[in-house]
């Protein structure tokens, strides 16, 4: 098992309301995608709080954009 070296000065943690704003998804959709392992896993911040690593959310959004770029456009 290998560990990543992380510069903690560059890490930003987003709470759920900020993730909702950033992604445009509602909370229930985020939870559904978490269950499907189709969204970045949250990080435990304490016994009753979690947050999402901003870079991982950004990477996830970028991957959706890349998928879109490789799919044929649908014309209505």
pLDDT of residue 9: 72
Residue 1 is predicted with a pLDDT of 43
pLDDT in tens, 41-72: 999 999 999 999 999 999 999 999 999 888 77
Torsion sign, CA atoms 21, 22, 28, 31: negative
Question: Does 2 have pLDDT greater than 60?
Answer: no
Confidence of residue 73 (pLDDT cuts 50, 70, 90): confident
Q: Cα(35)–Cα(41) distance, rounded to whole angstroms?
A: 10
Q: Which residues pair with 44 in a beta bridge?
A: 50
Beta bridge partners of 66: none
- pLDDT number for residue 5: 61
């Amino acid at each position: 098992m290998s560990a990543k070296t992380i510069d903690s000065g560059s890490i930003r943690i987003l709470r759920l309301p900020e993730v909702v704003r950033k992604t445009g998804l509602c909370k229930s959709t985020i939870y559904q995608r978490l269950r499907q392992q189709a969204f970045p896993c949250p990080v435990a911040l304490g016994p009753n709080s979690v947050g999402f690593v901003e870079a991982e959310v950004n990477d996830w959004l970028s991957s959706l954009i890349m998928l879109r770029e490789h799919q044929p456009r649908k014309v209505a």
